């Protein structure tokens, strides 16, 4: 979800205004994904690298995240959407942790889409922690390591590998996001800034994905 700050700067507004508009785009994207029968939607809300931003901006982002959980959890419950926050939790405030746990408990019975929100998330950190948890003598399979990653990241529900990764803001990099899970992901890059990522752009990304051939290293069916 890139481009909130740039969106605000282009309009002569403080960066926090862009984050507020970005939160509105989150609601629209979640609802569009649920209507499109997406099974799991993961949003990269705050990376571990984002701690390098100015303290005032970090504080505003954390407040906004807490407010989002407070206002949107009921909507998610009504739509049978489960909420799961992944990433480190040892550096979050006690108030935010309570909000996260409350949202996860309240929505746990949902049978529809899984909404995962990555906060203080670093895929490299998760991989290292999972490897440490396995130990030097572990005889690991990819499935077993995937389960270890879920434990490290506080994944409350089993999820498969990423099918489609969408990046906004005219960026062309993964930025430490779900590196293990994105091994065979299809990538879609959008020039628009996140606050402008609307229903039409999301559906275009889904249509783009639907037209691709996923071969997983093999050959397309018509060339065998």
The whole-angstrom separation of Cα 147 and Cα 192 is 35
* C-alpha pair distances (Å), 90 with each of 17, 70, 121, 127, 204: 28, 21, 11, 17, 38
Contact 154, 87 (CB under 8 A): yes
Whether 84 is a known active-site residue: answer: no
**Marked catalytic residue, from 4, 37, 50, 199:** 50
CA of residue 60 relative to chain centroid, distance = 19
Whether 2 is a known active-site residue: answer: yes
Q: How many CA atoms lie within 13 A of 96 on its CB side?
A: 19
The whole-angstrom separation of Cα 193 and Cα 167 is 10
**Marked catalytic residue, from 2, 84, 120, 153:** 2
Q: Which of 104, 4, 147 is nearest to 64 (CA)?
A: 4
- 3-class SS at 86? strand
Q: Cα–Cα–Cα angle for 152, 104, 140, nearest 5°?
A: 25
The whole-angstrom separation of Cα 93 and Cα 99 is 10
Q: Which residues pair with 117 in a beta bridge?
A: 43, 85
Residue with tokens 């809300």: 45
Catalytic residues: 2, 50
């Amino acid at each position: 979800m890139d481009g909130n700050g740039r969106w605000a700067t282009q309009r002569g507004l403080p960066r926090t205004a862009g984050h507020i508009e970005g939160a509105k785009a989150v609601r629209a994207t979640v609802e569009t994904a649920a209507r499109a029968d997406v099974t799991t939607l993961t949003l990269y809300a705050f990376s571990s690298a984002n701690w390098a931003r100015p303290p005032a901006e970090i504080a505003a982002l954390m407040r906004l995240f807490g407010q989002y959980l407070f206002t949107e959890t009921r909507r998610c419950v009504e739509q049978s959407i489960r909420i799961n926050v992944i990433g480190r939790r040892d550096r979050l405030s006690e108030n935010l942790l309570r909000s996260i746990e409350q949202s996860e408990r309240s929505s746990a019975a949902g049978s529809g889409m899984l909404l995962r929100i990555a906060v203080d998330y670093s895929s490299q950190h998760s991989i290292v922690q999972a490897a440490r948890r396995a130990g030097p003598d572990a005889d690991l399979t990819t499935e077993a390591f995937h389960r270890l990653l879920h434990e490290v990241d506080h994944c409350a529900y089993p999820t498969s590998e990423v099918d489609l990764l969408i990046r906004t803001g005219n960026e062309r990099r993964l930025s430490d996001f779900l590196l293990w899970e994105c091994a065979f992901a299809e990538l879609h890059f959008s020039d628009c800034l996140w606050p402008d990522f609307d229903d039409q752009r999301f559906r275009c990304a889904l249509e783009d994905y639907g037209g691709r051939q996923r071969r997983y290293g093999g050959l397309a069916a018509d060339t065998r």
